[in-house]
Amino acid sequence: MRVKIVAGNWKMNTSYQEAHTLMEEIVGRKAELGLHDAKKVVLIPPFPYLQYAYSEIAEIENLYIGAQDCSRHERGAYTGEVSALMLQSVGCEYVIIGHSERRQYHQEHADILFEKVEQALAHDLRPIFCCGEPLDIRSSGHHNNYVIQQLYDGLFQLPTEKFVKTVIAYEPIWAIGTGKTATAQQAQDMHRMIRSEIEKHYGTEIGKYHVILYGGSCNAKNAAELFSCEDVDGGLIGGASLNAEDFIQIIKAI
């Protein structure tokens, strides 16, 4: 059986006080989440709250903290950057790499992303590697090749023993923050395609167990249908993860 994961990417939202309230609400209802070894939740707040967030969940099994990005550098004179070592040292288990907002607004290209993946793995962080096509690529029908290329550039250069520590998140850009969700069929088709590409590259067994999340306007109403797809192993949730009730409903939908 594949592990299921629901991850909440808070992006650049919440004051410390708001983050505190959100954490308390989620942690206060931990019994409802039904977490176990094959159903995990990752909370991904902004950098300044990571240490606090970890202190809230440190004792709770199958609830983890992740970061939204990490530097491609190990350490040194890179003002404003946050290294994988720093993240690991404050309790992070996961780190998002290659989110479309980083690719778009920070010019993060394939070579940079692969360096980030390597940094994360070198410090025992699990990369949540994001891929996904913009609307014009979807409209032109080239979305499968586009996503495959992103995976080969950013992830498939890893040897098997490192690749198995990663998670893939398919986030079609046209569905992020737009309220326009991929249909369950669109999500399933893409996830199936990604899994067969993993099988081709790393072998059937590895493909069978690799976790592939869906992201893009996933909410309390549509989560159950998306998660019912055979190859969708959970979600990377943006807006809806900022509301404890909605986020909890999404977790329960899996």
CB of residue 218 vs ligand 13P: minimum separation in angstroms? 6
Say which of 143, 171, 191, 210 is annotated catalytic.
171
Select 178 or 204, whichever has its Cβ closest to ligand 13P: 178
Active site residue 99: yes
Q: Does 216 interact with ligand 13P (rule: CB under 6 A)?
A: yes
Select 207 or 244, whichever has its Cβ closest to ligand 13P: 244
Tokens 């900022």 correspond to 242
Say which of 99, 123, 191, 210 is annotated catalytic.
99
CB of residue 217 vs ligand 13P: minimum separation in angstroms? 4
CA–CA distance, 152 with 110 (Å, rounded to integer): 9
The single residue among 217, 250, 251, 254 that binds ligand 13P, judged by CB under 6 A, is 217
Q: Which stretch binds ligand 13P (CB under 6 A): 26-34, 59-67, 136-144, 171-179?
A: 171-179
CA–CA distance, 152 with 131 (Å, rounded to integer): 11
CA–CA distance, 42 with 63 (Å, rounded to integer): 6
Q: Does 239 interact with ligand 13P (rule: CB under 6 A)?
A: yes
Contacts to ligand 13P from residues 64-103, by CB under 6 A: 99
Select 108 or 171, whichever has its Cβ closest to ligand 13P: 171
CA–CA distance, 175 with 155 (Å, rounded to integer): 23
Active site residue 171: yes
CA–CA distance, 83 with 227 (Å, rounded to integer): 33
Q: Does 167 interact with ligand 13P (rule: CB under 6 A)?
A: no
Tokens 């993860």 correspond to 241
CB of residue 158 vs ligand 13P: minimum separation in angstroms? 22
Q: Which DSSP string corresponds to 147-206? A: HHHHHHHHTTTS-HHHHTT-EEEE--GGGTTSS-PPPHHHHHHHHHHHHHHHHHHH-HHH
CB of residue 28 vs ligand 13P: minimum separation in angstroms? 23
Burial 50-60 (b: 16+ CB within 10 A, else e): beebbebbeee
The number of residues making up the chain comes to 254
- Total of residues contacting ligand 13P (CB under 6 A): 14
Active site positions, annotated: 99, 171
Which spans of this chain sit near ligand 13P (rule: CB under 6 A)?
9, 99, 171, 176-177, 215-218, 236-240
